Amino acid sequence: MNETMNAMRVSFAAKRLLRQLSIKPKAPQLLRQLSTTPKPPRKFQYLTAWFCPYAHRCTLALEHHKGFIEWDSVEALGWESKPSEVGEEHDKRVEEHFYHWKSPALLKANPSGLVPTLVDVESQRSVCESLNTIQFVDEVARRNGSTEPPLLPLDLIERARARMWAETVNKTCCSPYYGVLVKADEEGRRESFSTLLKGLSAFCKELKGTFFSGSIPSLVDYALLPWAYRFYVLEHYKGAAYAIPREGETARFHEWLDAMVALPQVARTLPEKGRYLEHVGKYATGSARSKVANAVRRGAQAHEIDDDIDEAVEEFKQGTNPSRT
């Protein structure tokens, strides 16, 4: 009896073992198949504007990871001109205002009408805000197997430092650029320029090498570069007093800038200076009516735009202060 029971137990155990052996190997095989099956890379519609430094940030990230992320650029922002009752700042230059024209595709993807905006072609979901797009492009490219250095440092503490300083340079080095250009009073311009110089000085002290985090450019470098390259505009339109000093606390800024513009992925994104000067002259003479310009005129910073307030624009009226209109 005991022998019969033992034989039955062995038989049941053997059958159970055979079932396990016949089933279990399939699960790892299936997982391996799923993990090795390549997913088609996402394709993006890149809604941009050649002249916009905010969009330039996203362009730099895309060019940094070129070959590992697929996109089609679409110029989605331009200018419309409308008659004005008086010459801008009474200089009799051109008696008109220039308003940003926004493409239907941009307004559909981003009701704020701001560039850069990345649209996932398949899902039609959008990614907006310039600093956010740099980080998004970096993450997508890395998932696609990018062999380029990551724009977000791998070290978690350095990554947190980079994110903080990207926001810092945005407020202290980028926004004041528009204050210098748009403000009509000399005192206001000097105040903005002083903020800019202090911001650049602080940035220089944080450099850990040729670039912000060391020997390769990262998030903070690409956050600042679009404005850093355009600082020549300030001297051109507002005079030599608004040139960034090449000595003292901002000397290292020029070394950093020279190293940045020498990078191939940066050099191919830089707008031609003559063409850009013609464009940005609308800001320098007070005729630009963009959200950024409107925010500065009402006394806010460029990074403090309000979709409702700064979208509505009133024409200049004789005797009003253009910087507050």
Distance (Å, whole) CA 126 – CA 119: 4
Count how many Cα atoms sit within 13 Å of the Cα of residue 141 in the half-sphere of its side chain: 25
Q: What average pLDDT is seen over the chain?
A: 85
Domains and CATH numbers, the chain: 43-324 (1.20.1050.130)
Distances (CA, A) of 256 to 209, 221, 244: 9, 9, 13
* C-alpha dist (Å) from residue 52 to 116, 232, 316: 9, 15, 25
Q: Which of 16-20, 95-99, 169-173 has the highest mean pLDDT?
A: 169-173
Regarding predicted confidence, which is higher, 243 or 95?
243
Q: Inform me whether the pLDDT recorded for 86 exceeds 60.
A: no
Q: What angle do CA 172, 177, 180 make, to 5 degrees?
A: 115
More confident site: 290 or 73: 73
Instruction: Answer for the pair 211, 170: CB distance below 8 angstroms, yes or no.
Output: no
Percentage of the chain with pLDDT > 70? Answer: 79
Average pLDDT of the residues in 79-93: 57
Range name among 175-189, 244-258, 295-309 with the lowest pLDDT average: 295-309
**pTM for the structure as a whole:** 0.82
**Which of 146-160, 187-201, 263-277, 288-302 has the least mean pLDDT?**
288-302
pLDDT value of residue 93: 46
Q: What is the pLDDT of residues 1-32, one digit of tens each?
A: 445 444 445 455 445 544 544 444 444 554 45
